[in-house]
Amino acid sequence: MKKIVLTVGLLVGLLKGVYAQTTNDKEAYEKRKLKIEEVNLVSGYYGQDGNNSAVTGGLGTEKLSDFANSIDLKLSFIDRKSRQHFINADFNIDHYTSASSDNIDPLTISSASRSDTHVYPSLSWTVKDDATRTSRGLSYSYSTEYDYQSHGFNVNFAKISKDNNREFSLKAGAFFDTWMAILPSELRPAGYGSAAEGDRDPVAYKPRNSYNLALSLSQVINKRLQLLVTVEPAFQQGLLSTPYHRVYFTDGSHTVEKLPGSRFKLPVGVRLSYFLGDKVILRGFYRFYADDWGMKAHTANFEATYKITPFVSVSPFYRFHNQTAVRYFNAYGKHGPTEAYYTSDYDISGFTSHFVGTGIRLAPPGGLFGIKQWHSVELRYGHYLRSTGMVGNSVTLAMKLK
């Protein structure tokens, strides 16, 4: 309850600050109607395959496909104090199939999570005040799929320096999740449900709460170089293991994954953007990550955007990632039966990955195909390769209307 009260207090405080000066200078008010800034439509496909499924204890198919669509609507208006208000409504829907999830209950034709639809809308509001060089905002997000629901709250604040060369921003968020604890068929106690349609036996529901803070400082070094530094501590508590992930021990027995009920994460990142003449923009990003489960990770991303013409550009990119395993990870059949925590989920194992691809963007001045409102379209392809053998491919099509 304290956490909910704290979140509501932050939201009320932010709203109070936004409206603290709305009663004066009515005579200076210039009526500005609500207008559409832009509409973004994004469709994407992702497919992967491998042989380290956590559902079957670290062996078996990781084949998965995901088809995602989103629409993002940005509105704006100016109030009596000449402050700009931005309203952003975002609706996302994914449909995925997971071959490994069918092994939660191999005796049925299809398990509860073999395929699912994930829906996650969000709504945000930001107020930009040029007089004080500040921006304030808040947002709410909701996420649901078959075995999971989440409510998210965020507040943000940013201030720009007098010369517009420096900006400090702060964002705080809290997410309250509820998970359905689906168990593998052979490990369910008597009377415990499968969560399948038509099964009236009960299934346990477990909470998972997450608290995030993001601090960032951006600085214009010179007319060609910009720097951004971010620190994003996060804390989670509740059900952090996945109950339908099996773990096999050295003595041949098996049970479900068990992990600690809390986790503290600390990512620190640096981003550089360099404008090399009128045609080339170079972007680099590095992030260091550590948590109290023993994982450490390094991620480096590089992207170069080259303008073939003023209206056509290509953006090849490459991302390198390396991480160590959490101290509770071990492969199939390698855990000792006396260990307190155990997992065979290769997403939190030690591995190296590479993600390489390119994008092409078209943005003619008169709009695409003579349609003035169709501002731009971008197509991106990426190939993912993990040292554990998992391979993935993604294709994304993004359109902007203004």
Beta bridge partner(s), residue 321:
299, 353
State CA 286 to chain mean position distance.
Answer: 17
Say how far apart CA 402 and CA 396 lie, in whole Å: 20
pLDDT of 38-58, one tens digit each?
Answer: 999 999 999 999 999 999 999
Contact 73, 60 (CB under 8 A): no
Least confident of 19-33, 280-294, 303-317, 357-371: 19-33
230, β-bridge pairs: 216, 269
The values of phi and psi at residue 261, to 5°, are -90, 10
d(CA 69, CA 129): 33
Nearest 5°: phi and psi at 144?
A: -150, 145
Average pLDDT in the chain: 90
DSSP 8-state secondary structure symbol assigned to residue 23: S
Contact indicator for 171, 141 with CB cutoff of 8 Å? no
- Spatial contact of 104 and 246, defined as CB atoms under 8 Å apart: no
Question: Which domains are seen in the chain, by residue range?
Answer: 40-401 (2.40.160)
Please write the tens of the pLDDT for every residue from 358-391.
999 999 988 888 888 899 999 999 999 999 999 9
The pLDDT, as a whole number, for residue 11 is 41
Rounded-to-10 torsion of CA 232, 237, 238, 240: 50
Mean pLDDT of 227-245: 97
- pLDDT-derived band at 26, boundaries 50, 70, 90: very low
If you search the block for the tokens 């009596």, which residue do you land on? Answer: 80
